[in-house]
Amino acid sequence: MLLLLGVVAACAGAPVQEMYNARQAVRAAERAGAGLHAPDDLNAAKQLLQKAETDIRHGDYRAARDEAEQSREKAMSARTAAETASAATTPP
């Protein structure tokens, strides 16, 4: 029973770590050049992050957590695409 309460309490709190991870991933993607090489994924990551911030303000922590995680994934995809494109254009 205590374990179940712990799980419920963890879901009820603001997704602080997930938001931090998403913000860091977006910044890393921007530094890698995703704005130039993967703008669609980078913009999607930023939009998801904004939605998560709005959900937090409205107290919808579950949606915010999901959107923050999706934002992180999109940002990581954008960063990978940017790094791949950059490496392809860099002379040996």
The rounded distance, in Å, linking the Cα atoms of 57 and 65 is 13
Q: Put residue 8 in one of left, alpha, beta given phi > 0 → left and psi -120 to 50 → alpha.
A: alpha
Which residues does the chain have with pLDDT short of 70?
1-12, 90-92
The rounded distance, in Å, linking the Cα atoms of 85 and 79 is 10
The rounded distance, in Å, linking the Cα atoms of 84 and 32 is 10
Q: Give pTM, 2 decimals.
A: 0.83
pLDDT of residue 6: 46
pLDDT of residue 5: 44
Task: Compute CA distances 58 → 24, 37, 51, 53, 62, whole Å.
Answer: 23, 34, 11, 9, 11
pLDDT of residue 91: 62
Tokens 């709005």 map to which residue?
54
pLDDT of residue 12: 64
